[in-house]
Amino acid sequence: MASGPALSIDISAKRFAGASQPLLADLELAIASSSVVALVGPSGVGKSTLLRVIAGIDTAFSGDVLIAGVAAHQASTPGFVFQDPRLLPWLTAAHNIMAVDPAISAEVAQAALARVGLADAGALYPHQLSGGMQRRVALARAFSVNARLLLLDEPFVSLDRTLVDEIQQLFLQLVAQTRPTVIFVSHLIDDAARLADRAVLFDGRPAQIVADIALPIPPAQRDDATLTDYRAQLDAAGRQPYSV
Ligand SMILES: Nc1ncnc2c1ncn2[C@@H]1O[C@H](COP(=O)(O)OP(=O)(O)OP(=O)(O)O)[C@@H](O)[C@H]1O
């Protein structure tokens, strides 16, 4: 049984070719197993880049990123949800889920769709699904691989408020059912206040951690007063106002 944090980040520098200074420098973060961590920061600070480094997709940095003690690019593939659903247009919803891992059977894909309220949509192609349904398929796909680490890059952007609420409730249900370690990126403190156990705020170039805030009340038990308090804490800790 692995001990220590689920994820340990120690990046001394991440610099893109031609950039005058690193995007990330001296960044250290340890993330506990089964926690839900929001990485919050303004546009362009480097959140997506950090997520790609954690995913092992981007290996051009100096330092160490260890997933359960194993270098990120050698660790088992994490589940990933991108800003847009990225469904393959030539595959049905069920086959989009099965395509990420040969171990996922038709039955498992069907069960994953049922968990996000799409039991009848398995045979439909992406163009036959609404934007909200496509997001739900993308969530079902990420959770169906049973990855112990899930990375989500702005999974709630470009959705209207009703759909955000719906998809966030689904997200919380899936997390409660499967208890993975989750890191999600957002530029909105509201997402962190609603969904995360811990919010890490980034700002500056190179990006620095400007605040690391525990949000101990479980998301399902947060009432309006708690959300107002959490938003205020996060707003006060950020260097600049974040939109809510
Ligand atoms: N492949 C790349 N080559 C060069 N520069 C890059 C590359 N990818 C990202 N950048 C630069 O790094 C910076 C951070 O980008 P990144 O996408 O990580 O930020 P972000 O915080 O996720 O922003 P957003 O919230 O707008 O998605 C930007 O200035 C971007 O132009």
pLDDT tens for each residue of 132-148: 899 889 989 988 887 88
Phi first, then psi, for residue 38 (nearest 5°) are -100, 130
Rounded CA-CA distance 244/114 in Å is: 31
What are the boundaries of each domain within the chain?
Answer: 7-78+148-237, 88-146
What's the confidence (pLDDT) of residue 81?
A: 82
Would you call 161 helix, strand, or coil by DSSP? helix
Atom 17 in ligand 1: which residue has the minimum CA distance? 48
Q: How confident is the model at residue 3 (pLDDT cuts 50, 70, 90)?
A: low
Q: Which of 225, 163, 173 is nearest to 195 (CA)?
A: 173
Q: Is 45 in the pocket of ligand 1 (CB under 6 A)?
A: yes
What's the confidence (pLDDT) of residue 242?
A: 56
Distance of CA 75 from the midpoint of ligand 1 (Å): 24
Distance of CA 171 from the midpoint of ligand 1 (Å): 26
pLDDT one-digit tens code per residue, 144-184: 887 889 999 988 887 788 888 888 988 998 899 889 999 99
Atom 6 in ligand 1: which residue has the minimum CA distance? 16
In CATH terms, 7-78+148-237 corresponds, of 3.40.50.280, 3.40.50.11540, 3.10.20.30, 3.40.50.300, to 3.40.50.300
Q: Which of 120, 238, 129 is nearest to 189 (CA)?
A: 238
What is the arithmetic mean of pLDDT over 116-139? 93
Q: Strand 208-214: give its sheet, edge to edge.
A: 79-81, 149-153, 181-186, 36-40, 198-203, 208-214
Which residue type occupies 29? L
Rounded CA-CA distance 53/60 in Å is: 8
Atom 4 in ligand 1: which residue has the minimum CA distance? 16
Distances (CA, A) of 95 to 112, 123, 139, 171: 12, 8, 14, 21
Q: Is 4 in the pocket of ligand 1 (CB under 6 A)?
A: no
Alpha carbon 77 to its chain centroid, in Å, reads 14
Q: pTM of the predicted model, to two decimals?
A: 0.89
Atom of ligand 1 nearest to the CA of 49: 18
Q: Is 186 in the pocket of ligand 1 (CB under 6 A)?
A: no
Distance of CA 223 from the midpoint of ligand 1 (Å): 35
Would you call 163 helix, strand, or coil by DSSP? helix
pLDDT one-digit tens code per residue, 218-227: 999 999 999 9
Which are the contacts of 19, defined by CB distance < 8 A and separation ≥ 6?
A: none
Degrees (nearest 5) of the Cα angle 206, 210, 212?
Answer: 130
Q: How confident is the model at residue 2 (pLDDT cuts 50, 70, 90)?
A: very low
Which are the contacts of 169, defined by CB distance < 8 A and separation ≥ 6?
A: none
Atom 8 in ligand 1: which residue has the minimum CA distance? 49
Length in residues, the chain = 244
What's the confidence (pLDDT) of residue 241?
A: 55
Atom 28 in ligand 1: which residue has the minimum CA distance? 44
pLDDT one-digit tens code per residue, 68-97: 888 888 877 788 887 777 899 999 999 999
Atom 24 in ligand 1: which residue has the minimum CA distance? 43
Pick from 15, 16, 201, 243 the residue to mutate for probing ligand 1's pocket: most ligand atoms within 8 Å of its CB: 16
Residue pair 213/236 in contact (Cβ under 8 Å)? The answer is no
| Helix 161-178 with 131-144: angle, nearest 10 deg | 10
